């Protein structure tokens, strides 16, 4: 029972990290700008102004946005399916469907972070650095992978 509670807490933590990574405005940071997947905040005359992302390849940007959102959706679905399977699966059965959904979430956030890493900010690396949302995306990748493996291995034990 303690293991299941730990898994649920880890899963909720992972969902929160995925949502923060997708929504927050710190994928790329400089002294005067914060960029996320949706726009850019620029410091102009001591005031922050929101602008659209200019100069970014639109198809790559949409791929990163879509896969980040899909990672969140699949992680949330995996949690609901896991809770449902707790009450519907017989003893000794695996949580395979939850594991597959979590693995899809893992792959989605990996794809998003990989495309972002490979496509954006490679030429002007000295002009800024990756922010905490980018780091959270990679941490979420590791956590979703661990959860996917756990779900695929986990069996309901008879007490």
Answer whether residue 34 is part of any domain: no
Q: Give the pairing type, strands 33-35 and 40-44.
A: antiparallel
Q: How many angstroms separate the CA atoms of 16 and 84, rounded? A: 20
pLDDT given at position 123: 58
Q: How many angstroms separate the CA atoms of 109 and 95, rounded? A: 21
For residue 22, pLDDT beyond 50: yes
pLDDT given at position 2: 85
Answer whether residue 38 is part of any domain: no
Answer whether residue 50 is part of any domain: no
Answer whether residue 49 is part of any domain: no
**Structural domain tally of the chain?**
1
Domain around 15: 2-26+57-153
For residue 159, pLDDT beyond 50: no
Answer whether residue 37 is part of any domain: no
pLDDT category of residue 158 using cuts at 50, 70 and 90: very low
Q: What is the pLDDT of residues 87-138, one digit of tens each?
A: 887 776 778 889 999 999 999 999 999 999 888 765 555 578 888 999 999 9
pTM score of the predicted model: 0.87
Answer whether residue 32 is part of any domain: no
Answer whether residue 129 is part of any domain: yes
């Amino acid at each position: 029972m303690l293991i299941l509670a730990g898994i649920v807490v880890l899963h909720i933590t992972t969902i929160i990290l995925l949502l923060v990574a997708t929504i927050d405005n710190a994928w790329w940071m400089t002294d005067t700008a914060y960029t996320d997947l949706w726009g850019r905040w620029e410091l102009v005359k001591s005031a922050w102004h929101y602008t659209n992302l200019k100069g970014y390849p639109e198809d790559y940007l949409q791929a990163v946005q879509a896969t980040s959102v899909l990672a969140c959706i699949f992680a949330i679905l995996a949690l609901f399916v896991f809770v449902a399977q707790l009450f519907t699966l017989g003893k000794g059965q695996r949580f395979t469907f939850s594991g597959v959904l979590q693995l899809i979430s893992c792959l989605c956030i990996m794809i998003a972070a990989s495309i972002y890493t490979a496509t954006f900010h490679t030429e002007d690396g000295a002009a800024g650095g990756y922010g905490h949302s980018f780091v959270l995306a990679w941490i979420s990748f590791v956590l979703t992978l661990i959860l996917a493996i756990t779900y695929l291995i986990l069996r309901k034990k008879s007490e």
